[in-house]
Structure 1
């Protein structure tokens, strides 16, 4: 048995020896920029997920290191994301109190299960399976998730302590019902942070606007204690490396209960990561290995489950920054994780100075950036069916549990896909005693009835199917054509296939043998 290629087991060996002192120095500086962007985002995403803030930093360390070293993309950088954070919250909050040790354990168990699912897809070379989640589903889900996250953060912006609601509508109603309890200093501080963030985002978009806005909000709360002294702060934590977290793997009932959510969030993470990696590869002219990338995502989340890093996926903002800043290799992501590690060790005490309303404002800024306005307009212009899929996914995200919304979007995509393929393009004309059909598409179970109805409407002595564009035919298609050929034969007429591909001819001759096949073939 041949020994496996070492680059298959350790893919980073294909690019790591090629690094120079200049490229390493460049990647280290790009990694520092990525870490500055990742710090406020990771903390905010952890709060969205119902976790203590340090778990956002942990998710930006070990999972990022593994995804960069074992992945295929040169520029994809992973970490916690807003959409995945809220799916995790929606999946686990009914089972345990957010922030509790049981809640953390279940989040990490779900992360591990999703990682195993992703890794198995990669090992079985099913990386193309993520293509069944269309881009319109991702756009619609992200739009709905942005609304859900924003509504969930409004109580923090207003200084309210409200229990979480299952749907966006209930969150809005609860907020309106407590309108008399809004805290004005909290609202002023939150809106001020939001305004600063918006202004900086448009004036200096390349600056770490989230970090600056949070720093200014914290400074304002510190300078005016008489006004903002009662405003809640983010919980502090002791600086340390990501701790090892043993998982309750023997609890089979809980594993089975979490499995549907693990599959949904695992697929969402893969679709997000591969979409970002493909868009970046077009700029860098890099050839991606989808299965290697899927395996790397799985490995990163398996390891994350054991080292306190909840589920991670590709980050468009951090990956885009990596490309624009001139990253030379995945070392930029590795350095980013190392810089975040230093902050987790030595800068943890700074977290306790961040006011909750300012953090809520930063999350609202993130939600605004999640909405793909250009993509929404493009989907509307290109395909009304895809726009319906996007809208249904968004609506399901607002009304249903988030993992159910993903499944609803996938089912809607498959419905429209099958609807299109069940009616292949057919051109029809008369040539003397011949009725000719040109079929552009496969003849499979979904399209057989449609083509049979078209064939039975023809009155020519000879019925000819121009079959050059038929790439595939299944058992249902073979049976249908045999039935039509027998029917025409009984009426003294014939059915011919012209220009059929060899594999299509072979399938048609298998049913009754080449000698008894009622269909005639022309080259």
Structure 2
């Protein structure tokens, strides 16, 4: 008999035995997924602010580890758009985009996310996702999809994008530069996007992502899409241009100096803190440098945008055996724009941006950088990434499991995702999660087990060894189109409208999540936190003031709401009240108000029956309130009664001594038995209207 603990420790043993047909299906599915994985990985790495090769690194070891220790046969783990954007947003405050420090922190963040997911899985905390309502998830996903897609607009236009710390401000700056867009880049990007969107509708089995990569690379190489030139500032015959470019160069150098000073200063402060010392001057210097860096970054962004607007053309007659000189482009001239400047050397671009040189070879084993203070600073973002990544993975797994009747273990999936990120961080991978698009490809291609994911990872490794030189001419606009086509399909406002029809409080929480996420971007964690808090608050409001309604009898003898169904009350000698909530500390005050309000509407009433079939729990506060309320009502000649109490609630009444307080004959098994008892006690009564002061009513939900 198989050892259940062994299968829990090594869940991939459930794949075996495998038939030749199953192996063949996994091989085909794995190759099909790899055709999507490789270009997607590069695209998502660029979105994360990393060189594209890191997307290939994230497509290797993490994919294998996740499928070996996960619970779903069809879930494919690796780079995803959502976590790539979250990773870039989390790391951006601590390092300059694309630098070695940025890469170092991105890998360390993957380790932290992995540890959090592993801990949640080991301690069986997947229930934590129950605190995130579906409208909140939808609101966040819609906002994140818009942010991801629109953040690549500058790549489509081939214009610089500022990094002010506000997504909406940066987006507006990009929109202002539409007039400077590179037409061919825009054409290639839109063409790739059109092929991806239309192709998916024509035939989903064709790897259209690979198609646009191959076509885009061949076209780029054939037409010389990338046109580069390099020159010195003194070779430009335009003093005003030189001044702008010199200011840009000086700003970049100053930013590099400040970054080095901050690194050194943080190291000194870390040493002091470990010794338990404190240096006020160093702390003040740190704050001063951080403020200077922030302000200088704004100035450099403006200079970069100003420099991009400059059009330079080679001076006729130069460049043949002598240094090419440059002047401001005139009408009809072929021109170049300043793209970057380093130590007085200006790099000019007359075409579009391509991926460029991609390092060949597999990722080497390397222990991630470990900085406890920085990890603590990254912890809130890492926790949100861990939960959102898990939400992505489980939603995909459950959607596919619903079609195959596969049993999914959420905690085991957390363990698999956690181990994938931890192992990946030792092989230069950034944060990964489950991918809906690649999992769907695997399912459609006939995958039978997690072996398909291993095949896809091995194929990605072969690409790293042999194919990277052929990726040089791949236009970055094609990668942007791949991301856009993936994320725009996630936008779903219809679900929020449906939520409004079902429960407006849920819809409000979802809309608030959407708005806050969009406003606070690129800090996406705030939107989720606000959404969860809003949903929780609105739920508590509904719990504190639940629905209650005085009942009447329909012609067929069924109890129903008096106002809802326009019914006359049963009698003026007793009142029947429905209370749709448990009797707990949060709503016992409202229960008392509902009882007193009902009695005030029927001043001759001698009994009040509470329909107990909607009461699921009684706590100490509820018991004390019932004890006091029963005593107060007895003094006024009113008997409090309950009907249809569930067995756990009835036992709680007994343990609290409420049976003796209320009286055994006032706790009846069903509401219809209770009505019969009440009619016998108050025989001869006929239905009458309530007092003129108030009509029979209800306290509705807030």
- Contact 1:52/1:235 (8 A) holds in 2: no
Q: Which of 525, 542, 546 matches 1:403?
A: 525
Q: Quick one: distance in 2 between partners of 1:510 and 1:109?
A: 54
Rounded Cα–Cα distance in structure 2 between residues aligned with 1:158 and 1:334: 37
Aligned partner of residue 18 in structure 1, secondary structure: coil
Closer, same or farther in 2 for the Cα pair 1:435/1:380, shift >3 Å?
A: closer
Written as runs of structure 1 = structure 2, the 5 A alignment for 1:41-440 is 41-225=40-224, 230-249=351-370, 251-372=371-492, 375=495, 378-379=498-499, 382-400=502-520, 401-429=523-551, 432=571, 433-440=573-580
Report if aligned partners of 2:40, 2:479 keep a CA contact under 8 Å in 1. no
Change (3 A) 1:207 1:95: same
Indicate how the Cα distance of structure 1 residues 518 and 265 shifts in structure 2: closer, same or farther if over 3 A, else same: farther
Looking at structure 1, the residues matched to 618 and 369 of structure 2 have their Cα atoms a distance apart, in angstroms, of 48
Deviations 1:206-240 (A, max 9, x none): 32222212222222221112786732211433222
Contact kept, 8 Å, 1:424 with 1:442, in 2: the verdict is: no
Q: How big is the shift at 1:9?
A: 0.8
Q: Is the 8 A contact 1:141 1:397 kept in 2?
A: yes
Moved more, 233-242 or 48-57: 233-242
Alpha-carbon distance in structure 1 between the residues aligned to 2:493 and 2:357: 36
Equivalent position to 1:488, from 619, 633, 652: 633
Cα 1:474–1:228 change in 2 (3 A) is farther
- Deviation string for 1:273-327 (max 9, x for gaps)? 1111111111001222222222222222222222222222221111112222221
What SS does the corresponding residue of 2:598 show, helix, strand or coil?
coil
**Matched residues in 2 for 1:376 and 1:464: separation?**
39
The CA deviation at 1:522 is 3.4
* Alpha carbons 2:581, 2:615 under 8 Å: kept: yes
Equivalent pair of 2:225/2:352 in contact (CA under 8 Å): no
Gaps of 5+ in 2: 229-350, 552-568, 600-604, 670-702
**Deviations 1:231-271 (CA, angstroms, capped at 9, x unpaired):** 2211433222233332333x322121111111111111111
The structure in which a higher percent of residues are helix is 1
Spell out, residue by residue over 1:26-70, the C-alpha distance to the aligned partner (whole angstroms, 9 max, x if none): 111101111111111111111111111121122222222222121
Q: Tell me how far apart the structure 1 counterparts of residues 106 and 663 of structure 2 sit (CA, whole Å).
A: 61
The structural deviation recorded for 1:418 is: 2.6
What secondary structure, in the 3-state scheme, does the structure 1 residue paired with 2:586 have? Answer: helix
2:161–2:170 Cα contact (<8 Å) kept = no
Give distance in 2, aligned partners of 1:157 and 1:297. Answer: 33
2:598 maps to which residue? 458
SS at match of 1:5: helix
For residue 477 of structure 1, the aligned residue among 618, 622, 625 is 622
| Matched pairs, number | 519
Deviations 1:177-207 (A, max 9, x none): 3344322332233233333333333333332
Structure 2 vs 1, CA of residues 349 and 481 (structure 1 numbering), >3 Å: closer, same or farther?
Answer: farther
| Alpha-carbon contact 1:65-1:337 (below 8 Å) kept | yes
Partner SS for 2:609: strand
Show the counterpart of 2:585. Answer: 445
What is the rounded CA distance, in whole Å, between the counterparts of 1:517 and 1:256 in structure 2? 55
Q: Check the 8 A contact 2:517/2:527 in 1, yes or no.
A: yes
**Deviation digits for residues 431-457 of structure 1, max 9, x if unmatched?**
553322233332333332322210111
How many angstroms does 1:92 deviate by?
0.9
Offset of 1:381 from its aligned partner?
Answer: 5.1
Q: Which moved more, 1:427-436 or 1:290-299?
A: 427-436
Pair 165,122 (structure 1): closer, same or farther in 2 beyond 3 Å: same
Q: Contact 1:427–1:439 (CA<8 Å) still a contact in 2?
A: yes
Q: Distance in 2 between matches of 1:261 and 1:7?
A: 33
Note the residue ranges of structure 1 that are not aligned, 5 or more in a row: none
SS of the residue 1:465 aligns to: strand
Range 510-519 or range 351-360, more displaced: 510-519
Distance change in 2, residues 1:465/1:163 (3 Å): same
| 2-structure distance, mates of 1:455, 1:518 | 18
| Residue of structure 2 in register with 1:9 after alignment | 9
CA distance in 1, matches of 2:643, 2:654: 15
Gap change, CA 1:451 and 1:350, over 3 Å in 2: farther
Write the distance in 2 (CA, Å) between the matches of 1:475 and 1:245. 57
How many Å separate the matches in 2 of 1:449 and 1:314?
A: 46
Q: How far apart, CA to CA, are the structure 2 residues paired with 1:240 and 1:483?
A: 77
| 3-state SS of 1:445 partner | coil
C-alpha change, 1:381 and 1:346, in structure 2 (3 Å) is farther
CA-CA distance at 1:366 after TM superposition: 2.3
Contact 1:108 1:309 (C-alpha < 8 Å) held by counterparts: yes
TM-score of the pair, normalised by structure 1: 0.92
Q: How far does residue 378 in structure 1 lie from its aligned partner after superposition? A: 4.5
Aligned-residue offset at 1:158: 1.5
1:228, 1:357 → 2: CA distance? Answer: 15
Q: CA RMSD in A?
A: 2.5
